[in-house]
């Protein structure tokens, strides 16, 4: 058998493809025990973050999966192992929960601190849902520091009526209510990030 070193294979041109849509398998493959418990409910600074995710018609989405990332209450971005194995003590700043059959979700966490002086604290939120070719990213801002909110570059870049879709409501018991709308008049502002080349 003889081979020729003069022959070159044609260059393959690879075309990027969209991410897969979420499927029913996410409901049992990705959630993990205590995924929504970033801190124990007995923690002195524990706060409930909850809400409902809806489609463009206002109907609840019963099979979405949500992830959050956040700083701790002192504004420290935590980088620790063990996000998927909750030990009841270690705050990892990461949580993942499926919504229930009426689109409701809940996390037990802490109010994040600002990561920089005079910056508005926020929680990053990612949405995976049926029919989405790629996940959606948004932020959840705390409502209290109105001066920091007014000076936030992202919020300042939005029309005033759109800013409110990124700011949680503080309830009487201290919980944070943040509803997510994928489309429609009250559509949540979603973010895009430039891809690395």
Q: What is the pLDDT of residues 91-137, one digit of tens each?
A: 889 999 999 999 999 999 999 999 988 899 999 999 998 778 788 99
CATH number at residue 56: 2.60.130.10
Using DSSP's 3-state secondary structure scheme, residue 105 falls into strand
Q: Which residues of 79-105 are buried (b: 16+ CB within 10 A; e: fewer)?
A: eeeebeebeeeebbbbbbbbbeeebeb
pLDDT at residue 87, as a whole number = 83
pLDDT at 85 > cutoff 90: no
Q: Which domain holds residue 133?
A: 26-181
Q: For residue 14, tell me if it sits in a domain.
A: no
> Does 10 reside within a domain?
no
Does residue 19 fall inside a structural domain? no
Calpha distance 107→51 (Å, rounded): 10
Does 65 fall in a domain?
yes
Distance CA 120, CA 148 (A): 5
What own/partner pairs with CB < 8 Å and gap ≥ 24 does 10-19 have? Answer: 18/133, 18/134, 19/133, 19/134, 19/135
**Is 12 domain-assigned?**
no
Pairing mode of beta strands 104-110, 180-181: unpaired
Residue 25 has pLDDT above 60, yes or no: no
How many domains does the chain fold into?
1
- Residue 143's nearest CA partner among 110, 126, 121, 160 is 121
The answer as to whether 177 is a domain residue is: yes
Q: Is residue 192 part of a domain?
A: no
Name the more confident of 22 and 31.
Answer: 31
Task: Answer yes or no: are the C-beta atoms of 22 and 128 closer than 8 Å.
Answer: yes
Give the Cβ contact number of residue 142 at 10 Å. Answer: 20
pLDDT digits (tens, 9 = 90+) for 140-187: 999 999 999 999 999 999 998 899 999 999 999 999 999 999 999 899
């Amino acid at each position: 058998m003889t081979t020729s070193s003069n022959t070159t294979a044609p260059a393959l041109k690879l075309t990027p493809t969209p991410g897969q849509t979420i499927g029913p398998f996410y409901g049992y493959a990705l959630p993990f025990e205590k995924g929504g418990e970033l801190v124990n409910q007995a923690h002195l600074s524990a706060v409930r973050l909850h809400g409902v995710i809806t489609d463009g018609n206002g109907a609840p989405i019963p099979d979405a999966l949500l992830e959050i990332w956040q700083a701790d209450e002192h504004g420290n971005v935590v980088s620790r192992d063990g996000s998927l194995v909750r030990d009841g003590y270690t705050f990892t700043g990461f949580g993942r929960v499926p919504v229930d059959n009426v689109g409701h979700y809940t996390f037990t966490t802490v109010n994040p601190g600002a990561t920089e002086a005079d910056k508005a604290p926020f929680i990053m939120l990612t949405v995976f849902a049926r029919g989405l070719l790629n996940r959606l990213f948004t932020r959840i801002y705390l409502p209290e520091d109105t001066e920091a909110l007014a000076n936030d570059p992202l919020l300042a870049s939005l029309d005033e009526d759109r800013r409110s879709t990124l700011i949680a409501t503080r309830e009487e018991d201290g919980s944070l209510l943040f509803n997510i709308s994928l489309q429609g008049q009250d559509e949540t502002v979603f973010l895009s990030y430039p891809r690395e080349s």
